[in-house]
């Protein structure tokens, strides 16, 4: 189930959400695609949410670190 999503200011991400029971981060891009990143600790989601550039933070701290898949 998709958690509550928070709208963000980003050039290619529209909203993000976190499920603390499964440690999954959901990222919806402006093109409508939705990805889930698995095994993400709360502090990493907080870092993403508060980053000056969400897209850069996602690329630097999530890609090739946490397993992910497209769900929509």
Structure tokens at 12: 């290619």
**39/45 Cα distance (integer angstroms):** 11
The model's pTM: 0.95
Question: Mean pLDDT over residues 17-39, rounded?
Answer: 98
Residue the block writes with tokens 């189930």? 1
Q: How big is the CA angle at 47 (ends 2 and 57), to the nearest 5 degrees?
A: 90
Q: 65 phi and psi, to 5 degrees?
A: -115, -50
Give the pLDDT of residue 54. 97
Q: Give tens-digit pLDDT for 31-50.
A: 999 999 999 999 999 999 99
Q: What is the pLDDT of residue 11?
A: 95
Residue 26: pLDDT band with limits 50, 70, 90: very high
């Amino acid at each position: 189930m998709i958690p509550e999503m928070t709208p963000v200011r980003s050039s290619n991400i529209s909203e993000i959400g976190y499920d603390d029971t499964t440690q999954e981060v959901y990222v919806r891009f402006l093109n409508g695609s939705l990805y889930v990143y698995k095994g993400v600790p709360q502090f990493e989601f907080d870092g993403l949410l508060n980053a000056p550039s969400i897209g850069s933070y996602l690329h630097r701290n999530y890609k090739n670190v946490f397993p992910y898949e497209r769900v929509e």
